[in-house]
Homo-oligomer: A and B are copies of this chain.
């Protein structure tokens, strides 16, 4: 079998059974790997009665078929499970070195089920896997866990772990990898699922295995060529990280400010990647096999946050914990990022829930007494840091905030629902749907909830094109025409990236999907063309959708918060736009051949070879 190791590790933490399952070539070609294959397994492992934090949920970690080939950005890892935040399909995507290490140990992935009776960690190597005691790691933060496990297993292992937030089942807890070169499987609360299994960490040893490559010479040549191109095209990203884009994102009205209420802030210059480079940058780091290197190493040497060092904040983090909370102190944002990394919290959801709390506090829906005497005021960095601790440790109001904005709004009642910014329970990342109509449609329809990565469509309203799928011209970001078509096609294509486990930043560096198709054939000995690439992406997208449909999802869940559809910001680069969601959904469902309620038709499922996932009873026909 080319590309894939052909072996998936299966760990039942309840019985301590560890087995190895074969991955066959048919399944690999049908669902590729990463989140595509993960969705297939999730459908098999869980059903609508499975509780996200019950022993019956499955935590599925999967590499892609390019992992270990050195193809640029190919070493990412998918984490697939049922989300405690949304109650539906969850995927979370992480870079770093874990995916590569897993593949080099001879495994395409790990399926973890059951619940251990006491804290444990999993040690994986070419020799197999062992479940080890983690009692002395309980309560430790992710940097401490990384240190502790490397001191036991050597510096060459990679550690994925949860912090106190995951142990405490915070609904948006993350799984962190690579210690101070932090990388996060941040979204959807995958860290809480790991916590619910009493699994504190997974350690993967340095392995020696490599995937078989069908045409090694051609692939090697392409690796050399594209690594050069990406290194060159990624210079800006390497220089300033993802936060280099902060000012321009504010300028076009893309950045959330004051819980998505304002159109301009004017403070981006003081907290962006350039400011970081000037004031605290000590180095950069790369995910395995990545020639770009957007990771930031920082060190703060003076002021109240002196001593903080390690991973620096990304664009999303600065926007959500900074602009969205009106915090304009870069050092404080770095401290907040450091806390989130250590506690194992998704910085996006954390920033969102804190901004929500600030608005609720301002509007009198949360009192000072509710917040244990803390004044939860806009722009107050100390309040942000205190709330992060309270969330991770589930203290006071942090216990409620740790449930995510949807649950908070239900609890507070009244108009709180109207400024709880999420779709399907997943808090929005730092891209305002009013700045890009395709992003509005993507958030509404993304299978994991409010997510720009499932479609990555904003790229194609800012100059990007994808001629192989007919997207010859970049689209008007405020227009409505073609959005259904464009968004569905890009979701299909991006679903392939999430399954192949390639980084989407390659799209900004000129890597065309025809090249990706060539890699698939060169590595796996397939004869895929762009049509099959897209059909496979569509299959994977529909399979994720069907998982949600089985959990009750339909049009009613493909929604946007009222602030986004109804409230103009009146200033900034997207001052007046309000996305016409109904119109775009109508187009989208038609292009997808889903019915009026957003449910894939039997004919479409049959066409995609998903007959086995049709719902019995056909409740919508």
Q: Which residues of B contact A417 (CB under 8 A)?
A: 556
Q: Which residues of B contact A364 (CB under 8 A)?
A: 617-619, 621
Q: Which residues of B contact A583 (CB under 8 A)?
A: 578, 580
Of the stretches A56-64, A83-91, A104-112, A563-571, the one at the interface is: A563-571
With A556-B417, A620-B363 as given contacts, are A586 and B562 in contact (CB-CB < 8 Å)?
no
Contact B597 A418, beta carbon cutoff 8 Å: yes
Kindly state the interface size class of chain A when it binds its partner.
35 or more
With A566-B596, A578-B583, A578-B586 as given contacts, are A554 and B414 in contact (CB-CB < 8 Å)?
yes
**Of B415, B596, B620, which contacts A597 at CB under 8 A?**
B415
Contact B414 A552, beta carbon cutoff 8 Å: yes
22 contacts between A and B (CB under 8 A): A363-B619, A363-B620, A364-B617, A364-B619, A365-B619, A413-B552, A414-B552, A414-B554, A415-B599, A415-B619, A418-B554, A418-B555, A562-B582, A562-B597, A566-B581, A566-B582, A566-B596, A567-B596, A568-B586, A578-B582, A578-B583, A578-B586
> How long is the Cα–Cα vector from A180 to B617 in the complex, in angstroms?
47
Q: How far is the CB of A91 from chain B (nearest CB, A)?
A: 25
Q: How far is the CB of A371 from chain B (nearest CB, A)?
A: 17
Encode contact with B along A552-593: 1 for CB under 8 Å, 0 otherwise: 101110000011011110000000001111110110010000
**Of B562, B586, B617, which contacts A566 at CB under 8 A?**
B586
With A581-B582, A619-B364 as given contacts, are A415 and B554 in contact (CB-CB < 8 Å)?
yes
**Of B363, B556, B562, B618, which contacts A556 at CB under 8 A?**
B562
> How long is the Cα–Cα vector from A552 to B418 in the complex, in angstroms?
12
Q: How far is the CB of A203 from chain B (nearest CB, A)?
A: 44
Q: How far is the CB of A473 from chain B (nearest CB, A)?
A: 24
> How long is the Cα–Cα vector from A307 to B428 in the complex, in angstroms?
64
Q: How far is the CB of A456 from chain B (nearest CB, A)?
A: 24
> How long is the Cα–Cα vector from A567 to B589 in the complex, in angstroms?
9
A564: nearest chain-B partner, CB-CB: B582
Number of copies: 2
| Interface secondary structure of A, over-half rule | loop
* In the A-B complex, the 6 residue pairs with the closest CB atoms: A565-B582, A566-B582, A415-B597, A580-B580, A578-B582, A567-B596
Q: Which residues of B contact A586 (CB under 8 A)?
A: 566-568, 578
Q: How far is the CB of A485 from chain B (nearest CB, A)?
A: 15
Contact B568 A562, beta carbon cutoff 8 Å: no
Encode contact with B along A494-514: 1 for CB under 8 Å, 0 otherwise: 000000000000000000000
Q: How far is the CB of A595 from chain B (nearest CB, A)?
A: 9
**Of B363, B365, B555, B565, which contacts A415 at CB under 8 A?**
B555
Contact B555 A562, beta carbon cutoff 8 Å: yes
Q: Which residues of B contact A552 (CB under 8 A)?
A: 413-414
Q: How far is the CB of A555 from chain B (nearest CB, A)?
A: 5
Q: Which residues of B contact A562 (CB under 8 A)?
A: 555-556, 582, 597
> How long is the Cα–Cα vector from A75 to B225 in the complex, in angstroms?
86
Q: How far is the CB of A586 from chain B (nearest CB, A)?
A: 5
> How long is the Cα–Cα vector from A621 to B580 in the complex, in angstroms?
28
19 more CB-based (< 8 A) A-B contacts, given A417-B556, A418-B596: A363-B619, A363-B621, A364-B617, A364-B618, A414-B619, A414-B620, A415-B554, A415-B597, A415-B619, A418-B597, A556-B562, A563-B596, A565-B582, A566-B582, A567-B586, A567-B596, A580-B580, A580-B582, A581-B582
Contacts of A518-554 to chain B: CB distance below 8 A: 552, 554
Q: How far is the CB of A225 from chain B (nearest CB, A)?
A: 46
Contact B556 A585, beta carbon cutoff 8 Å: no
Q: Which residues of B contact A597 (CB under 8 A)?
A: 415, 418, 562
> How long is the Cα–Cα vector from A193 to B418 in the complex, in angstroms?
32
Encode contact with B along A601-621: 1 for CB under 8 Å, 0 otherwise: 000000000000000011111
> How long is the Cα–Cα vector from A386 to B77 in the complex, in angstroms?
60
Q: Which residues of B contact A568 (CB under 8 A)?
A: 586
Q: How far is the CB of A133 from chain B (nearest CB, A)?
A: 45
> How long is the Cα–Cα vector from A95 to B531 in the complex, in angstroms?
65
A599: nearest chain-B partner, CB-CB: B415
> How long is the Cα–Cα vector from A301 to B618 in the complex, in angstroms?
45
Q: Which residues of B contact A565 (CB under 8 A)?
A: 581-582
Q: How far is the CB of A395 from chain B (nearest CB, A)?
A: 26
> How long is the Cα–Cα vector from A173 to B568 in the complex, in angstroms?
41
Q: How far is the CB of A162 from chain B (nearest CB, A)?
A: 35
Contacts of A339-387 to chain B: CB distance below 8 A: 363-365
Interface centre among A261, A579, A582 (most CB of B within 10 A): A582
Q: Which residues of B contact A617 (CB under 8 A)?
A: 364
Q: How far is the CB of A284 from chain B (nearest CB, A)?
A: 42
> How long is the Cα–Cα vector from A521 to B185 in the complex, in angstroms?
72
Q: How far is the CB of A9 from chain B (nearest CB, A)?
A: 37
